[in-house]
Chain A
Amino acid sequence: MPKELIRLVDCTMAFDGEIVLNAINLTIHDKEFLTLLGPSGCGKTTTLRLIGGFETPTSGGIFFDGARINDVPPHKRRVNTVFQKYALFPHLNVFENVAFGLRIAKIPDGGGKKSRLPEGEIEERVQGALELVGLKGYHRRRVHQLSGGQQQRVAIARAIVNRPQVLLLDEPLGALDLKLRKEMQHELKEIQRQVGITFVYVTHDQEEALTMSDTVVVMNHGNIQQIGTPVDIYNEPVNAFVADFIGESNIIQGVMHKDYSVSFAGRLFECVDSGFDPNQPVDVVVRPEDVRMTPPDGGQLRGTVNSVTFKGVFYEIFIDVGEIEWMVHSTSAPKIGDEVGLLLTPEDIHVMDRPDLFPEGAEALTLEDVDPEPEFEDGGGDGEDGEEA
């Protein structure tokens, strides 16, 4: 890994006594594409705003290149932000939007004084940035004459033209339609490669996170759940929340009898996990594509097909087994009401600690009951309510 650039140490953030970030620790490396992923209200945007300087942590430290920057205001940080709803300046045209930071910047001129950037350099850098984001020739346009995707590109150009060491992106693709979003994912990755700086990216879209990132940080309820590469996060989720949030999962409560033996759904299964306390309650996670359907007596479980939905490349099938409804992805479709068997191999059974963070049990980990967000993903217009964030 390249050198470390930003470090958050025990950062806690509370708004009016409500804890939004709970003593998180995070290290961001140079030239890394790091994604903060989680449901709304998980604290990902707050983390980004701490790095950007728009919030000061209630406790804990933020370090940039080894120096503590808790109290450095945003305009003095070598970090630029691409805001969720672009936040372009409507009274300026594209060129002036992109040139905004350059016109304000003061550079040391050798003699101890500071001076403005020369017009020629501004022109050159703005045009360069516009070219990078594919908006060559658009510099005279008014902001409101641009499409959503183009506004997004201006926002990116406006940030990177200042040559920040880190670019912060707050759900930058959230307002775009699906097709454009896919296109922009590739372009963003390409831009990052070309300018060679660190990207810290916030999204609630797990697919986006897996596609673009070097490192994914999964967050929930102000806590970091897991940090890892996309492959790690998908294949080795550390708990049921991560498993459920990344891709689809069957999550069943079970009990670890002893090493390599777990009981759930009313019977004992062989598994590959070990190191749990004897008879420890656990979450058992099985990906729907790992469940194989067999003739009724061919599997370990036996159930009735409840629904079948065609999803394009596969069928999504729900099968009632006693109290539990299993989700299965398969390329063949049974009929509703069919009796089928379900077969699980030991490698497909992932056993996880049940986090005691939510003592009321696994229900707390589903996405449905996540608190409405204290972050203001919805910037404008609601002056009355937006302020507390």
Chain B
Amino acid sequence: MKRRGGLLAFPYAVWMILFTVVPMLLVVWFALTDEDGLPTVGNFIRLWDYGAVFGRSLGLAAVSTVICLLIGYPLAYVLSRETDAMRNTAMLLIMLPMWINILLRTYAWMSILENSGLLNQLLSFLRLPALHIINTPSAVALGMVYNYLPFMVLPVLTVITKIDDSVVEAAQDLGGSQATVFRRVILPLSLPGVLSGITMVFVPAVSTFIISKLLGGGKSMLLGDLIEMQFLGNTYNPYLGSAISLVMMVIVLISMALMNRFGEGEEEVMGL
């Protein structure tokens, strides 16, 4: 008799078909047709022309992900050893910038990184040579790290915090030094958090177009920019755009599948 309640989900099932399944199928359909609606693989062949963009997107996303991991993991580890109150405050502080629109967050960096901007003012005050960062791939990578670092810290922190103290104590009791305990116990146990952190940083980084537009000065075009151009830009071509989107979806799916192979269990890492 409990089963009948399942019907309540029926309208939403229809909704999902209309607004999730059909749109995805349309992307596939457009990717495989040309302007006259004829089937073609030409859109995918044309993607070779954009190899540099694919390379740059994947490269920048990968670099940013690694930097996020190198900064985020130690931070999470340090925070995990703080008191609950301190840790909760820190988590709140890390999340707070995420609640500000990404456009504004990225825009803020524009005035810092400009050639005559605040960073270079500070450097010249310290008698250091000026840096020319704005409108370079480095600025884009910096923007990615800034915007997506919380996505690395929070899942890792959640997982490390959940590690039972007695497990760590047991490892110490069995003669593990601080370094051994970290390497043999904490690191493997925190791996699921690391994996979900990697996906959570990599996926938005590989698909962004705001960061490259604002900080890359149009010189470092990414996949996101390319897609945007096909749908809303001067080179209106939804067929090519769909093909790029499809490839991006495949990249995302592969990276998530890779991560899921290592980590198991449900992820409820984002708090709230």
Is A in direct contact with B (CB under 8 Å) within the complex? yes
> Which residue numbers of A lie inside 8 Å of B, CB to CB?
54, 56, 73
List 3 A–B pairs whose Cβ atoms lie within 8 Å, in order of A's numbering. A54-B1, A56-B1, A73-B1
CB neighbours of B1 from chain A (8 A): 54, 56, 73
| Majority SS at the chain A contact face | loop
Cα distance, A73 to B2, chains bound together (Å): 11
Shortest distance in angstroms between A52's beta carbon and chain B's nearest beta carbon? 12
Q: In chain B, what residue has the closest Cβ to A54?
A: B1
CB neighbours of A56 from chain B (8 A): 1
Cα distance, A73 to B1, chains bound together (Å): 9
CB neighbours of A54 from chain B (8 A): 1
For chains A and B in complex, what number of residue pairs have CB atoms within 8 angstroms?
3
Cα distance, A54 to B3, chains bound together (Å): 12
Q: In chain A, what residue has the closest Cβ to B3?
A: A387
Shortest distance in angstroms between A388's beta carbon and chain B's nearest beta carbon? 11
Q: How large is the interface on B (under 10, 10 to 19, 20 to 34, 35 or more residues)?
A: under 10
CB neighbours of A73 from chain B (8 A): 1
Q: In chain B, what residue has the closest Cβ to A73?
A: B1
Shortest distance in angstroms between A186's beta carbon and chain B's nearest beta carbon? 36
Cα distance, A56 to B3, chains bound together (Å): 13
Cα distance, A56 to B4, chains bound together (Å): 14
Cα distance, A54 to B2, chains bound together (Å): 9
The 3 closest A-B pairs by CB, nearest first: A73-B1, A56-B1, A54-B1
Q: In chain B, what residue has the closest Cβ to A384?
A: B266
Shortest distance in angstroms between A389's beta carbon and chain B's nearest beta carbon? 11
Shortest distance in angstroms between B9's beta carbon and chain A's nearest beta carbon? 15
Cα distance, A56 to B2, chains bound together (Å): 11
Cα distance, A73 to B4, chains bound together (Å): 13
Shortest distance in angstroms between A16's beta carbon and chain B's nearest beta carbon? 13
Q: In chain B, what residue has the closest Cβ to A53?
A: B1
Shortest distance in angstroms between A379's beta carbon and chain B's nearest beta carbon? 13
Shortest distance in angstroms between B27's beta carbon and chain A's nearest beta carbon? 32
Shortest distance in angstroms between A77's beta carbon and chain B's nearest beta carbon? 13
Cα distance, A56 to B1, chains bound together (Å): 8
Shortest distance in angstroms between B151's beta carbon and chain A's nearest beta carbon? 27
Shortest distance in angstroms between A50's beta carbon and chain B's nearest beta carbon? 12
Q: In chain B, what residue has the closest Cβ to A387?
A: B2
Shortest distance in angstroms between A159's beta carbon and chain B's nearest beta carbon? 20
Cα distance, A228 to B1, chains bound together (Å): 33
Q: In chain B, what residue has the closest Cβ to A71?
A: B1
Cα distance, A54 to B1, chains bound together (Å): 8
Q: Which of B1-23 contact A (CB under 8 A)?
A: 1
Shortest distance in angstroms between B161's beta carbon and chain A's nearest beta carbon? 21
Shortest distance in angstroms between A278's beta carbon and chain B's nearest beta carbon? 53
Shortest distance in angstroms between A56's beta carbon and chain B's nearest beta carbon? 7
Cα distance, A5 to B1, chains bound together (Å): 25
Shortest distance in angstroms between B1's beta carbon and chain A's nearest beta carbon? 7
Shortest distance in angstroms between A13's beta carbon and chain B's nearest beta carbon? 14
0 or 1 for each of B107-127: is its CB under 8 Å from A? (1 = yes): 000000000000000000000
Shortest distance in angstroms between A385's beta carbon and chain B's nearest beta carbon? 14
Shortest distance in angstroms between A383's beta carbon and chain B's nearest beta carbon? 12
0 or 1 for each of B155-197: is its CB under 8 Å from A? (1 = yes): 0000000000000000000000000000000000000000000
Shortest distance in angstroms between A381's beta carbon and chain B's nearest beta carbon? 14
Shortest distance in angstroms between B129's beta carbon and chain A's nearest beta carbon? 60
Shortest distance in angstroms between B267's beta carbon and chain A's nearest beta carbon? 15
Cα distance, A302 to B239, chains bound together (Å): 93
Shortest distance in angstroms between A14's beta carbon and chain B's nearest beta carbon? 16
Shortest distance in angstroms between B179's beta carbon and chain A's nearest beta carbon? 38
Cα distance, A360 to B86, chains bound together (Å): 62
Cα distance, A275 to B1, chains bound together (Å): 48
Shortest distance in angstroms between A11's beta carbon and chain B's nearest beta carbon? 17
Q: In chain A, what residue has the closest Cβ to B266?
A: A384
Cα distance, A322 to B121, chains bound together (Å): 96
Shortest distance in angstroms between B12's beta carbon and chain A's nearest beta carbon? 18
Shortest distance in angstroms between B240's beta carbon and chain A's nearest beta carbon? 43
Shortest distance in angstroms between B268's beta carbon and chain A's nearest beta carbon? 14
